[in-house]
Amino acid sequence: MYGVALTDKQTLEYQEREIPKISDNDVLLKVHAIGVCGSDLRIYQNGDSRVEYPRVIGHEIAGEIVEIGKNVQRFSIGDRVTLGAHIPCGECLYCQKNQGHQCVKGETIGYQIDGGFAEYVALPKEFVEYGSIQKISDATSYELASLSEPFSCVLSGLREVGIEAGDTVVVYGAGTIGCMYIAAAKRMGASKIIAVQRSEARQIKAKEIGADIVIDPSKSDTLSIVNEETNGFGADVVIVTAPAASVQKESLEVAKKTGSVLFFAGIKPVQEVPLNTNHIIYKQLKVVGTHGAPRDLHMEAVKWIDEGLIDFSFFVTHTFPLKGTEKAFQTVIRKEGLKCVVKPTEARI
Ligand SMILES: [Zn+2]
Ligand SMILES: [Zn+2]
């Protein structure tokens, strides 16, 4: 088979590789679509302590089951599925509480084991038993199904902030994740969505997917616009998808009293952010962070995609053959469009 391995920092090699061999409890998946995630870019650019070279990275995977170990009962050859990213151990405190995304082992597809930028990916026993392998409806394309993993992370954030119909929501950053938040919040009944975004191309995306107001923070003052739009109260929910200290600080100011603030993306490299914690105390804010998603929300994400609850095709702006994986990464680095999806089965066509 062909696969794209990260052989060093910033070095992706398209190479011939062995089709992975599976044991009795494993599953072999033919990868039909794999999305480029922001975290893939960080591994590519800076390396990651969990990733040894050479490694096929990538965890936003949809494909077809082509081989199953003799002990595998829940799946059959030919199943069309999409995957969560985490490999829960199934036994630790977190795994037992439906928090496999916080498993003490912290194993993830495309980090400690080979991921999806390849024609085939092997799913080990723990993943088959405790990870999220969700069947997709016949009408759902693999391309859209590959959005299930990032969208499950969006649903996880929304569950934590407890969004309600009628809420005013501020979303910082209108990349793929920010736009998913805008669309999902709208679908869940938010009455006014304010996006904050510098790049003009992404301002347009935010508008198209449902933002009522788009603020360019290099030209206008976000706090005063949010206040004007909310009769001086501030936003019910503030979602920060742009990993920047200044934005995290400001998010506490634009939230209304008793509002919720979500920090979605981590700041890398690590940086201490001085926050005015009096906002949290006196305004009684709920400030939460989320990372990844538990299995039930991955299941729910697939339901949203199967049922077309929002326009998922909006988010995929570029597709590439497997050979074009490096191009896909460069496209994301240049912040062109939204989600780039690689389609390994079209690799040699
Ligand atoms: Zn991802
Ligand atoms: Zn665990």
Kindly list the strands in the beta sheet with 235-240, ordered across the sheet, starting from the edge strand earlier in the chain: 213-215, 192-196, 168-172, 235-240, 255-263, 286-289
Ligand nearest the Cα of residue 35 is 1
Angle at 185 between CA 179 and CA 190, to 5 degrees: 130
> Is pLDDT at 347 greater than 80 in this prediction?
no
Report the alpha-carbon distance of residue 332 to residue 339 in Å, rounded. Answer: 8
Q: Which residues surround ligand 1, an ion (CB under 5 A)?
A: 37, 60, 150
Q: Is 193 helix (H, G, I), strand (E, B) or coil?
A: strand
Cα distance between residue 146 and residue 127, in whole Å: 17
Cis upstream peptide for 274 (omega within 30°): no
Q: Is the pLDDT of residue 267 over 80?
A: yes
Rounded distance from Cα 332 to ligand 2 centre (Å): 32
- Ligand 1: centre distance to CA 175 (Å): 13
Q: How far is the CA of 93 from the centre of ligand 2 (A)?
A: 7
pLDDT digits (tens, 9 = 90+) for 306-325: 999 999 999 999 999 999 99
Residues with CB under 5 A from ligand 2 (ion): 88-89, 92, 95, 103
What average pLDDT score do residues 213-221 get?
A: 98
Among 46, 22, 231, 37, CA closest to 117: 37
Q: Which helix (H) or strand (E) holds 316?
A: strand 316-321
Q: What is the pLDDT of residues 224-249, one digit of tens each?
A: 999 999 999 999 999 999 999 999 99
- For residue 349, is pLDDT > 80? no
Contact status, residue 109 vs residue 3, Cβ threshold 8 Å: no
This prediction's pTM: 0.97
State both tokens at 60.
């936003």
* Torsion (CA) 174, 176, 178, 183 in degrees, nearest 10: 110
Helices 176-187 + 148-161 axis angle, to 10: 60
164 alpha carbon – ligand 1 mean position (Å): 26
Share of the chain above pLDDT 70, in %: 99
Q: How far is the CA of 190 from the centre of ligand 1 (A)?
A: 25
CA 87 to centroid of ligand 2, rounded, Å: 8
Tell me how far the alpha carbon of residue 303 lies from the centroid of ligand 1, in angstroms: 18
pLDDT at 346: 80
Residues 178 and 10: their CA atoms lie apart, in Å, by 26
Give the ligand with the smallest distance to the CA of 107.
Answer: 2
Span 108-158, pLDDT tens digits: 999 999 999 999 999 999 999 999 999 999 999 999 999 999 999 999 999
The three-state secondary structure class of 295 is: helix
Whole-angstrom distance, CA of residue 145 vs CA of residue 147: 5
Cα torsion 185, 191, 195, 200: sign: positive
The domains of the chain, with CATH numbers, are: 2-147+315-346 (3.90.180.10), 154-289 (3.40.50.720)
pLDDT band of 265, cuts 50, 70, 90 = confident
How far, in Å, is the centroid of ligand 1 from the Cα of 161?
A: 20
